[in-house]
Amino acid sequence: MQIQGFEDYSAQALAEHINQWIAGRLRDGYRVQMRNIKYQTMVNSEGLNIYSALVVFDMEKVA
């Protein structure tokens, strides 16, 4: 999953966004384990904060 946008995300806000994204797609009987999160932010020429996050996770059917 890759997230990009024009907001300055705190680590907590990013975690909440990721959890909401997964919860919206998760089906009963699956387990999700995060493997890696790469997060970076920078300021563009217009002074806007741009963030990018790449999330790698495993989804396993357990039931």
Domain count, the chain: 1
Cα separation, 63 vs 7, in Å, equals: 38
User: 14: part of which helix (H) or strand (E)?
Assistant: helix 11-25
pLDDT per residue as tens digits for the range 13-30? 777 877 888 888 777 788
Range of the domain at 42: 2-61
Is the separation of the CB atoms in 53 and 3 below 8 Å?
Answer: yes
- Helix, strand, coil shares of the chain, percent, nearest 5, are 25, 50, 25
Rounded distance, CA 9 to CA 15, Å? 9
pLDDT band at 8 (very low <50, low <70, confident <90, very high): low
Question: How do residues 45-62 score in pLDDT, each as one tens digit?
Answer: 888 777 777 888 888 888
- pLDDT, residue 40, reads 80
